[in-house]
Amino acid sequence: MSVEHAQVQRTDFDQVMVPNYAPAGFIPVRGAGSRVWDQSGRELVDFTGGIAVNVLGHAHPALVSALTEQANKLWHVSNVFTNEPALRMAKKLVDATFADRAFFCNSGAEANEAAFKLARRVAFDLYGTEKYEIIAAINSFHGRTLFTVNVGGQSKYSDGFGPKITGITHVPYNDLDALKAAISDKTCAVVLEPVQGESGVIPAELAYLQGARQLCDEHNALLVFDEVQTGMGRTGELFAYMHYDVTPDILTSAKSLGGGFPIAAMLTTEALAKHLTVGTHGTTYGGNPLACAVAEAVIDIVNTPETLAGVKAKRELFKTRLEAIGEQYGVFTQVRGLGLLLGCVLSDAWKGKAKDFFNAAEKEGVMVLQAGPDVVRFAPSLVVTEADIDEGLDRFERAIATLTQA
């Protein structure tokens, strides 16, 4: 039986929601694969993937089936219990990665909070009170809690909220010399995104990550990879560290894990995990059954040769076409990123105008993202069809043609 809902419009947002962000002028109401329909029934091609979240597009049949099956069994239990989907999902992550132990929570911020607390706790237990400093990159993004915004390298998220958490240093991304100068025996963790998303979809250089790994080993610090915005499977490997063959001590991943269903994970080794003993760090659940059941279905599809090879092939389709558009209309100087996380760097004439590209694309019926004011970001479904790629990029090119002629 369907429930009749009250009619709402975009203008209602301004009346009932906290104004901490400014959504687009239309409201998506239904999705299927890489297509979305808004309230008026208009169809759009979705190349945003919910910012690398909807790894398998909208309403993927396998995820709907897993969600429906589990919804008829068990939704949530107190954290004095465990549950079957959580244990199965943890086993799959352990079997597929460097990790021996998994920690589940609701969001990337929670996963990073747990990772940073674990790093400080390990240092406290093994080396004492003076080893607590964390090094992160300028322009990094690690979540929205007070701790994670302080570790993140964007002052707009941390200024104006009282005293900042001490012992956190920020250095330029991909600058190994700066990291060498900052690290010391007081450092407990170096936190890096393998692909820095919010500062413009900048992949890490291999030598930088290798150097960071070596420096951490030399100073008994932990290397933490925040792969929340990179997304599971999006590089063409299950996790981005596999692309570089540089193994962290702790890895965080978030909503891509559940294909958009709220779930996140912190992965680490048995030797480190044992420092989060009972009572040292809680979570709203030790693995929500509903979320973990969906996540199981996601990893079963993503962690296959077909899906991961498809990511690499589809990347070339996007990159080739976007480079051609950039050259023809003089709007992009570079298309960078890894796998199906791509950033189109705006030319000097268009710097600061990424929002204009977002708006122009929406008018032509294609959804794209910004990564700062100078980069247009694409994060499509990992299983987007070639037909949807062609149609979406045709619409995007029409948007660019209109924008450059205005």
Residues taking part in catalysis: 141, 226, 255
Give Dmax (Cα) for the chain: 64
Rounded Cα gap, residues 376 and 358, in angstroms: 8
CB 343 within 8 A of CB 376: yes
Neighbours of 315 (CB within 10 A): 22
Helix or strand run (H / E) with residue 328: helix 305-329
Q: Could you give the C-alpha distances from 336 to 23, 117, 172, 196, 310, in angstroms and in order?
A: 26, 33, 19, 11, 18
Given a contact cutoff of 8 angstroms between Cβ atoms, the answer to whether 109 and 281 are in contact is no
3-class secondary-structure state, position 365: coil
**Residue 9: φ, ψ to 5°:** -130, 170
Contact partners, residue 358, CB within 8 Å, separation at least 6: 368, 369, 370, 376
187, 221 in Cβ contact below 8 A? yes
**Angstrom distance (rounded) from CA 57 to CA 49:** 7
CA distance 48 to 51: 5
Residue listed under structure tokens 């059954």: 289
Q: Which of 231, 235, 239, 229 is nearest to 257 (CA)?
A: 231
Provide DSSP, 100-129: SEEEEESSHHHHHHHHHHHHHHHHHHHH-T
